C-alpha cells in the first residue's frame, strides 16, 4: 500500500511507562522539501531506551533505524525502495562543526530521531535525506542496523583514542553490553589480533559472547579488575574505553592506565574524579569523551561490514517481530543477550 497522504493512519506503539506499550492509530506525515518518509524494516534496541520504556515517552522511541524509502519530498534523489540507515542526529550541514565533518557535534541540530521526533519502533520515520545513509541491496535490514550504535559508536571511540595514542597496544573495555561488544569487535577489525582486548562484565551470557568475539573476559563477580588484568598479563593498559557510564568503572579504568594512557568515556552517566598532577600531568594521560560518531564514518564501516558480516553479525543474538515489542524490550533490558533487533515486514 503506497503512502501518499497525511490522512493515512497506521498502528504505532505508545510507550505508557511502567514497561507498558499500547498500539494506537497515528497519522503518517508527508515529506517536505529535502525530507524522506521511510517505511521501517528494523530497529535495534538500545540501553538508552530503558528510561523511555519505564517512564514513558512523548514520541515513539527507536534510534537505530533501517528503513526503505516510501516517499520523497522535493529535491530528494533517493529512489523509492532504497534501503537506508538513519543517522540519529538530524544535523544541519551548515554550522562550523558540520563543515569539518563533525556532524555528531552539530551546532544547529534539527532533531534526535526517537527522542525528539518519532523513531523506529513506529511503522514510518520522517527525516531529512541528508542523514539517511544508503546501504545497498546486499545487506538485510537487520544486518544494516550494525552500522549505527554497534560499529559507529564503537569505531568512533577507538578513533578518539588514536588521536592521542596512535601506537596503543592494549585495550580495556568496561562493560560487555552491545556498545562494549561493538568496541571489542571494531578493535579486532581495526587494530588486528596483536592488540589484546580485556573486557569486563558481570553477565555470563555477554562475557561468553565477548570471548567468542575474540575478547579476554574478566568476570567481576569472581575476580577484581586488578586480578583479572594480572591473569591476562596486563598490569596496565594503554587505552581504556568505558561503555557503562558508572563511576566505579571509570575510576577503575583510569587507575589501570600506563604512562600516556587514554581513558575514553562513551557511556553517559556518573562522575569521574581525578588528581590532575599525578594522574594527568606527570604521566601525560588523557581523558576524552566520545559521542556517537560522524556521518562520514558510515561509508568505511559499510565496507567493513560487507567484508566481515558473519563476524559482526554474532553481536545480534535475538530478533523479534514488532507485535512483540514489549516482550523484546523487557528481555533486552534483562541483559541476557547481545543486540536485540525488532523487525517489521516489508510491504508490497
Distance CA 45, CA 246 (A): 20
> Is 268:208 a contact under the CB 8 Å cutoff?
no
Distance CA 173, CA 175 (A): 6
Query: What confidence score (pLDDT) does residue 1 get?
Result: 38
Distance CA 246, CA 248 (A): 6
> Is 243:267 a contact under the CB 8 Å cutoff?
yes
Q: What average pLDDT score do residues 314-336 get?
A: 97
Nearest partner of 290 among 178, 161, 193, judged by Cα:
161
Nearest partner of 170 among 143, 135, 194, 202, judged by Cα:
194
Nearest partner of 62 among 20, 129, 118, 124, judged by Cα:
118
% of the chain surpassing 70 pLDDT: 97
Query: What confidence score (pLDDT) does residue 2 get?
Result: 44
C-alpha cell at 163: 588521536
Query: What confidence score (pLDDT) does residue 242 get?
Result: 98
Query: What confidence score (pLDDT) does residue 5 get?
Result: 44
> Is 307:169 a contact under the CB 8 Å cutoff?
no
What is the per-residue pLDDT across 213-248, written as a single tens digit (0 to 9) for each? 999 999 999 999 999 999 999 999 999 999 999 999
Residue 347 binned pLDDT confidence (cut-offs 50, 70, 90): low
Distance CA 126, CA 113 (A): 9
Q: For 313, phi and psi rounded to 5 degrees?
A: -65, -20
Q: Which residues of 167-183 are buried (b: 16+ CB within 10 A; e: fewer)?
A: ebebbbbbbbbbbbbbb
pTM: 0.96
Residue 348 binned pLDDT confidence (cut-offs 50, 70, 90): low
H or E stretch at 15: strand 9-17
pLDDT at 4 over 50: no
pLDDT at 6 over 90: no
pLDDT at 295 over 80: yes
Distance CA 40, CA 261 (A): 42
What is the per-residue pLDDT across 162-205, written as a single tens digit (0 to 9) for each? 999 999 999 999 999 999 999 999 999 999 999 999 999 999 99
pLDDT at 346 over 90: no
Instruction: List the domains of the chain with CATH numbers.
Output: 9-137+315-343 (3.90.180.10), 151-289 (3.40.50.720)
Q: What average pLDDT score do residues 89-106 get?
A: 98
Distance CA 146, CA 165 (A): 26
What ranges in the chain are assigned the alpha helix state H?
50-55, 96-99, 141-144, 154-164, 178-191, 204-212, 225-231, 247-255, 276, 298-307, 309-313, 325-334
> Is 304:189 a contact under the CB 8 Å cutoff?
yes
Amino acid at each position: 500500500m503506497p503512502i501518499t497522504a497525511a490522512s493515512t493512519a497506521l498502528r504505532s506503539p505508545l510507550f505508557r511507562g511502567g514497561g507498558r506499550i499500547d498500539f494506537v492509530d497515528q497519522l503518517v506525515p508527508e515529506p517536505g522539501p529535502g525530507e524522506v518518509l521511510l517505511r521501517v524494516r528494523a530497529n535495534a534496541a538500545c540501553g538508552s531506551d530503558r528510561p523511555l520504556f519505564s517512564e514513558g515517552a512523548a514520541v515513539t522511541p527507536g534510534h537505530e533505524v533501517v528503513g526503505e524509502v516510501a516517499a520523497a519530498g522535493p529535491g530528494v534523489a533517493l529512489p523509492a525502495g532504497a534501503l537506508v540507515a538513519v543517522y540519529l542526529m538530524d544535523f544541519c550541514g551548515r554550522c562550523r562543526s558540520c563543515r569539518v565533518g563533525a556532524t555528531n557535534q552539530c551546532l544547529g541540530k534539527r532533531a534526535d530521531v526517537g527522542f525528539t521526533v518519532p523513531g523506529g519502533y513506529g511503522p514510518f520515520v520522517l527525516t531529512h535525506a541528508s542523514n539517511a545513509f544508503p546501504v545497498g541491496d546486499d545487506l538485510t535490514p537487520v544486518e544494516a542496523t550494525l552500522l549505527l550504535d554497534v560499529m559507529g559508536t564503537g569505531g568512533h571511540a577507538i578513533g578518539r583514542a588514536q588521536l592521542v595514542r596512535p601506537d596503543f597496544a592494549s585495550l580495556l573495555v568496561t562493560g560487555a553490553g552491545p556498545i562494549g561488544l561493538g568496541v571489542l569487535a571494531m578493535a579486532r577489525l581495526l587494530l588486528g589480533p596483536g592488540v589484546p582486548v580485556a573486557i569486563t562484565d558481570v553477565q555470563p551470557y555477554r562475557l561468553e559472547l565477548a570471548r567468542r568475539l575474540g575478547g579476554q573476559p574478566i568476570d567481576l563477580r569472581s575476580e577484581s579488575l586488578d586480578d583479572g588484568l594480572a591473569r591476562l598479563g596486563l598490569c596496565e593498559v594503554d587505552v581504556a574505553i568505558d561503555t557503562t557510564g558508572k563511576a566505579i568503572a571509570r575510576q577503575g579504568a583510569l587507575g589501570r592506565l600506563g604512562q600516556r594512557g587514554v581513558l575514553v568515556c562513551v557511556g553517559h552517566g556518573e562522575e569521574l574524579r581525578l588528581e590532575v598532577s599525578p594522574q594527568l600531568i606527570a604521566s601525560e594521560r588523557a581523558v576524552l569523551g566520545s559521542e556517537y560518531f560522524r556521518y562520514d564514518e558510515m561509508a568505511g564501516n559499510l565496507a567493513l561490514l560487507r567484508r566481515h558480516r558473519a563476524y559482526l553479525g554474532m553481536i545480534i543474538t535475538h530478533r523479534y517481530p514488532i507485535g512483540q515489542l514489549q516482550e523484546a524490550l523487557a528481555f533486552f533490558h534483562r541483559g541476557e543477550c547481545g543486540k536485540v533487533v525488532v523487525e517489521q515486514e516489508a510491504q508490497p
